Amino acid sequence: MVLASNKVMDALKGIGLNLYERKLWVALLARGTSTAGELSEIANVPRSRSYDILQSLAEKGFVIAQPAKPLRYVAIPPGEALERAKRKLEEDMKLTVQRIDELKTSPVMKELSSVHSTGLSMISTEEMAGALKGKGLVMQQMGSMFKTANKKINILTTGDGLNDIFENHFSDLKKAADRGVKVQIAVSGDSRSSPAAKSLDDLPAIEVRSVNTKEIPIGGRFAVVDGKELVFSLTDTKVHNTQDMAFWSKSEHAAGNVMEPLFKLAWNNSKKL
């Protein structure tokens, strides 16, 4: 029995409900009130799993459990259920953030840092590399690099990429420049009308230039920090955020001997916007 369209099920997946949770909740909405056994048959969900899943839905705010024998569940109107789920997520997030902040200042942090330092001493910097998938993760990694920069930040990007940098890293780059880090951004393609270009160029400590792509037909996006660490994008800015891919490495050879000279080539063939 089909109770909801694929569009509805995909939307519920987008807010974090797994397949069984989606099936059981929709089945309960169709019944109003029901037992776990009845819902498992309607939704084609294993009966042995239905109790735990319905309990999970109750904790998230989607259903109410009635203390009866057998245990029955009541459907909450969709609008109210979503509001309850939203409030629960906000409360959980607030508590998690609080715990993270407490952990960062606790004695446990010293032990974790010691464990990490021991692990780093056993590997070479070239082994510190990995693939980053999803725009959020890529931007997080770049932000971490910019925050720890000591001498220089070299960025080659496109017009769209410059907008992303402005939206996500304006504060990080400004703080880096304020502490004496040399920040240079080379942009391939026309970005003169970009609000990001103007805002960044208004900061004297951050140099933004346009690459002469007729002389140097270069594109792509990468960032190099202190000639020791890099992030190199593997996809175009026009892909969906979830499909954005990049490569990160702490290889000084790749950062200092490969990507940095490439940046200098672009920079030497560029001019102020």
pLDDT tens digits, one per residue of 19-41: 999 999 999 999 888 999 999 99
Q: Please indicate, yes or no, whether residues 168 and 33 belong to a single structural domain of this protein.
A: no
* Domain CATH number, residue 173: 3.30.870.10
Q: What is the pLDDT of residue 162?
A: 87
For residue 157, pLDDT beyond 70: yes
Asked if residues 134 and 108 have their Cβ atoms less than 8 Å apart, the reply is no
Spatial neighbors of 5 by CB under 8 A, at least 6 apart, are: none
Q: Is residue 107 part of a domain?
A: no
Asked if residues 257 and 247 have their Cβ atoms less than 8 Å apart, the reply is no
For residue 64, pLDDT beyond 80: yes
More confident call, 110 vs 170: 170
- What is the rounded distance in angstroms from the CA atom of residue 174 to the CA atom of residue 159? 19
Q: Is residue 93 part of a domain?
A: no
pLDDT band (50, 70, 90) for residue 68: confident
Question: CA torsion 133→138→263→197, rounded to 10°?
Answer: 130
**Stretch 182-195: mean pLDDT:** 77
Q: Please indicate, yes or no, whether residues 78 and 137 belong to a single structural domain of this protein.
A: no
Q: Please indicate, yes or no, whether residues 158 and 257 belong to a single structural domain of this protein.
A: yes
| Structure tokens that stand for 219 in this block | 């594109």
Q: Is residue 193 part of a domain?
A: yes
**Stretch 110-127: mean pLDDT:** 65
Q: Is residue 112 part of a domain?
A: no
19-33, 117-131, 181-195, 200-214, range with greatest mean pLDDT: 19-33
pLDDT band (50, 70, 90) for residue 121: low
Q: Please indicate, yes or no, whether residues 135 and 261 belong to a single structural domain of this protein.
A: yes
- What is the rounded distance in angstroms from the CA atom of residue 28 to the CA atom of residue 48? 17
pLDDT band (50, 70, 90) for residue 103: confident
Q: Please indicate, yes or no, whether residues 149 and 266 belong to a single structural domain of this protein.
A: yes
Q: Please indicate, yes or no, whether residues 151 and 235 belong to a single structural domain of this protein.
A: yes
**Stretch 155-174: mean pLDDT:** 89
Q: What is the pLDDT of residue 11?
A: 92
Question: CA torsion 139→141→142→145, rounded to 10°?
Answer: 160
More confident call, 192 vs 199: 199
Q: Is residue 90 part of a domain?
A: no
Give the Å distances, CA to CA, from 19 to 12, 13, 49, 109, 113: 9, 7, 12, 37, 39
For residue 204, pLDDT beyond 80: no
Asked if residues 244 and 135 have their Cβ atoms less than 8 Å apart, the reply is yes
* Domain CATH number, residue 53: 1.10.10.10
Asked if residues 49 and 20 have their Cβ atoms less than 8 Å apart, the reply is yes
Q: What is the pLDDT of residue 198?
A: 66
For residue 13, pLDDT beyond 70: yes
Q: What is the pLDDT of residue 159?
A: 84
The answer to which of 22-31, 154-163, 171-180, 211-220 has the lowest mean pLDDT is: 211-220
Q: Please indicate, yes or no, whether residues 169 and 258 belong to a single structural domain of this protein.
A: yes
Q: Please indicate, yes or no, whether residues 67 and 159 belong to a single structural domain of this protein.
A: no
Q: Using CA of residue 207, residue 211, residue 216, residue 221, what is the dihedral sign?
A: positive
Q: Please indicate, yes or no, whether residues 141 and 251 belong to a single structural domain of this protein.
A: yes
Q: What is the pLDDT of residue 163?
A: 86
Q: What is the pLDDT of residue 106?
A: 86
The 3-state secondary structure of 65-76, one letter per residue = EECCCCCEEEEC
Q: Please indicate, yes or no, whether residues 179 and 257 belong to a single structural domain of this protein.
A: yes
The partner residues of 155 in beta bridges, in order of sequence, read: 185, 223
**Stretch 4-20: mean pLDDT:** 89
For residue 125, pLDDT beyond 60: no
Q: What is the pLDDT of residue 212?
A: 82
Q: Please indicate, yes or no, whether residues 151 and 230 belong to a single structural domain of this protein.
A: yes
Question: What's the number of domains the chain is made of?
Answer: 2
Q: Please indicate, yes or no, whether residues 20 and 149 belong to a single structural domain of this protein.
A: no
Q: Is residue 190 part of a domain?
A: yes
Which residues constitute the domain of residue 50?
Answer: 6-82
Q: Is residue 104 part of a domain?
A: no
Range list of H helices, 158-249: 159-178, 195-201
pLDDT band (50, 70, 90) for residue 230: very high
Q: Is residue 131 part of a domain?
A: yes
Q: What is the pLDDT of residue 205?
A: 76
Amino acid at 119: G
Asked if residues 174 and 196 have their Cβ atoms less than 8 Å apart, the reply is no
